[in-house]
Structure 1
Amino acid sequence: MTSNVIIRRYDRTFDLLDNDANGVLEEKDFTDLIEKIARATGVQQGSAKEEALVKEWGNCWNTLRDLADANGDGRISREEFQQAMAAAYGDHAKLKERLVPGLEASFAAIDADDDGVATVAQFEAYLTAWGLERAQARAARELLDSDGDGRFSRQEFVNGWTDFLLRDDAECAALLGPLN
């Protein structure tokens, strides 16, 4: 059974993914978010980074649609999303298989100089593309920058998202801002 904390995280994620706030997830929500992430992180149009971001987030959408779109209408309701997230991302193996490539493409977008480390300022830009306010993004960065040096690695980024989706405590809940 999925805990209340995790369901609230799924709801928060759904709300941020639903770019047009129409109450359902559609492919356009994902493509709009990809565009916002690319522009906020300085990814150049037509670059290999943008192509990887589009490809991997497209794969995430296709996987989610395949898992969640119970009625086959090409749209995912909040309930369908919650059920699919609980089923698909309820264990680390499935999470890595289905989500990590998209996270790695996101990290590559954040890591502007390709040195394998991202700054908290770059992460804040990424989170504001998701729709978080600057103050929320600043608070969320502490989840990844545990040593306070202002930087974090690809693995810390992936681990932060994995914890956000799987951990059953309120500590890592702030990655996408406050839970409703």
Structure 2
Amino acid sequence: MKTPLRHTRYDRVFQLLDGDGDGVVRAVDGDVSVDKLLTEFGVPGDSPKAVRLRDHLAAMFEDFLGPDFRDRAGTREEFHAYMRGHPDRLERMVEVTTGAEFDVADHDDDGVLDRPGVHRMWRAFELTPQDAEAAFEYMDTDRDGRVTRADYVGMWLDFLLVDDEDSPVAKVAGQEGGAGGGHGRP
């Protein structure tokens, strides 16, 4: 079931995936996003972390667009239908893809990110420092100044699956009160 809140959040994720802002998502948009994250953290494109992230993102695009995903583009409506129609696969895809994102940012492999690390991730996603701070505050539940992989993955799962309009997760990706932030687009 699509709720207005979930619709807004799916729009936000679509917007984050639509790297060139042309209203459709293609595998190349995902490649651009990965490159931005790798560049932000100085991770070589052929490193195991980069390969793992690319593989997980490609699997997500293939699940969404089909086996010819490299040659297809998905519309916002198709993306919404995919997100609504496959909640079990959606949860698994979010877990592995966001986990791989976290691993790229975890440059010292200690299993945690500090506040600057989260801010760097949000900068790579072209989100605002305010969004990054809201995300950090949401994830750092024990207030120790550190975010674990489970905290990060859990935040994205909450963002996509929790329908509580008053939840602080609404502030983590530039969409509180509507789809704003990232890519300089409202």
Is TM-score (shorter-chain normalized) higher than 0.5?
yes
- Contact 2:35/2:45 (CA < 8 Å) preserved in 1? no
Separation in 1 of the partners of 2:17 and 2:95? 17
Pairwise CA distance, 1:120: 2.2
2:117 counterpart (119, 122, 134): 122
TM-score by length of 1: 0.88
Instruction: Work out whether 1:173 is the aligned partner of 2:170.
Output: yes
SS of 1:20's partner is coil
**Is residue 116–residue 154 contact of structure 1 (8 Å, CA) maintained in 2?**
yes
Q: Which runs of 4+ in 1 moved over 2 A?
A: 93-99
CA separation in 2, counterparts of 1:49 and 1:34?
11
Q: Structure 2: which amino acid aligns with 1:63?
A: D
Q: Pairwise mapping of residues 80-91 of structure 1 onto structure 2 (< 5 A)?
A: 80-89=78-87
Counting matched residue pairs gives: 174
Displacement of 1:121 in angstroms is 1.4
- 1:131 counterpart = 2:126: yes
In 1, the alpha carbon distance for the partners of 2:136 and 2:66 equals: 32
Do 1:17 and 1:130's aligned partners in 2 also have CA atoms closer than 8 Å? no
Q: 1:161 aligns with which of 133, 156, 164?
A: 156
Taking a change above 3 Å as real, the CA distance of residues 16 and 119 of structure 1, as seen in their structure-2 partners, is: same
Classify 1:98/1:45 alpha carbon distance in 2 versus 1 (closer, same or farther; 3 Å). closer
- Structure 2: gaps (5+ residues): 180-186
* Residues in 2 aligned to 1:109 and 1:176: alpha-carbon distance in whole angstroms: 19
TM-score, structure 2 length as denominator?
Answer: 0.86
Counterpart in the other structure of 1:29: 29
